[in-house]
Structures are given as structure tokens and as C-alpha cells.
Amino acid sequence: MQIAVLASGNGSNFEAIVRASKRGEIKSQISVLIVDKKSSYAITRAKYLGVKYVIVELANFSDKQSYEQEIVNILKAYNIDFICLAGYMKIVSETLLSAYQGRIINIHPTLLPKYKGKFGFDLSLESMDEELGATVHHVNNQLDGGEIIDQIRFLRKGKTLEELEKELHENEHILYVRVIKEMEEK
């Protein structure tokens, strides 16, 4: 598959996917990174990993539809057939969804359907849940609402906030690569 990653922030999942591709753990190529913020650290990662990137900012478009149409145009130009959202902080709308029906997945830092939305991890920390985790799911027009593909879990007991955040990200990277591998075998 030719994969595009869409990100807004740090980009550690993007880097994990690219590294898995480089070492042959997944067969797919990560052909382009699309970011919606020029401050995204994912851009720095794309530079040192040697992955092409494009910045597409909503503020430069008259509406969400034309913004997403530009993203679709870029995806087509790169012959992308699969999209991984990784810390992409926008709801995907009809223009992008219909162009890539069933071929967009996202990672969320909780065990969905618990704790949807951008404060999901904080909510899971505030809960009394003994298990934390992450979910990769199909994307539809509902916030973190598409069908669940796979999850990964870890225990919180006795760990500091920093340790839990580190463990979350390590687990996310394992999960995302595992799911892409599963998708390739389908």
C-alpha cells in the first residue's frame, strides 16, 4: 500500500510507522506526510526520515470542503491508497471520507468506546480504571466513533504520570504497526 499519514503535532506515531516500513516490518511505503499546522514537530521528523511532507492549513481555504479537496488532490498525486491519522486534530468530513471510504484509520489514546475526544487520555487517567490503553479504529464522521480494529492494554498500578505517558506512546507505536500489518494481509 501507499500510505499517507495525517498529523497535527508531535508525530511520534508517524515516525514509528516510517521506521517499521524502513526495516521491512510492514510492506507499505509511507509516501507523504500531510500536516495541518506548520508548527507540527512531525515536519522535523519527516525531514530527518526523508519523507515528503505537505502543509495544508485550513485558514488558507474558504471552507472545510475546499481544504479537504486540496488534501484529496495531494493524496491522488501521490497515488495514496490508505490513510493513517496520527494525532490529526480535525474531524474528517465528507469530502475526504468519500474519496477514501473504508481506507482511513485513526489511533486514539484510550480503550474506546471509553473517553472519546481530545482529552481522552486525561479522562482515562482521572478514572479509576486499572487498565489503560489505545485503540486503532476506522474513521467515520463521528468523533472517535468508527468501528474498532484493535486495542492494546497496560496496567497503571504503581506508575507515575511520566511512566504512563511513555508506556502509552510505546504501546501506540506497537499497535499502529501491528494494525497496518493486519491491513496489508487482508
86 binds ligand GRF (CB under 6 A): yes
Looking at the Cβ atoms of 9 and 146, the one nearer to ligand GRF is 9
DSSP conformational letter for 9: S
Task: Please identify which of the residues 108, 137, 169, 173 carries the catalytic annotation.
Answer: 108
Active site residue 169: no
Strand intervals (E) in 22-147 = 29-35, 53-55, 82-85, 104-108, 131-138
What is the spatial distance between Cα 36 and Cα 30, in angstroms, rounded to a whole number? 18
**Options 92, 107, 177, 180; binder of ligand GRF; rule CB under 6 A:** 107
**Options 3, 4, 6, 7; binder of ligand GRF; rule CB under 6 A:** 7
12 binds ligand GRF (CB under 6 A): yes
**Options 11, 53, 124, 151; binder of ligand GRF; rule CB under 6 A:** 11
**Cell numbers describing residue 133:** 490503553
What is the spatial distance between Cα 49 and Cα 43, in angstroms, rounded to a whole number? 10
What is the spatial distance between Cα 186 and Cα 166, in angstroms, rounded to a whole number? 31
**Cell numbers describing residue 46:** 519527516
- Contact segment (CB under 6 A) with ligand GRF among 18-26, 64-72, 102-110, 153-161 equals 102-110
Query: Taking CB under 6 A as the rule, which mask of x and - marks residues 32-71 in contact with ligand GRF?
Result: ----------------------------------------
Size, binding site for ligand GRF by CB under 6 A: 14
**Options 6, 172, 177, 179; binder of ligand GRF; rule CB under 6 A:** 172
Burial environment of residue 145 by CB neighbours within 10 A (0 to 12, 13 to 18, 19 or more): middle
Residues β-bridged to residue 57: none
| Residue of 37, 49, 38 whose CA lies nearest to 12 | 49
31 binds ligand GRF (CB under 6 A): no
Residues with a catalytic annotation lie at 108
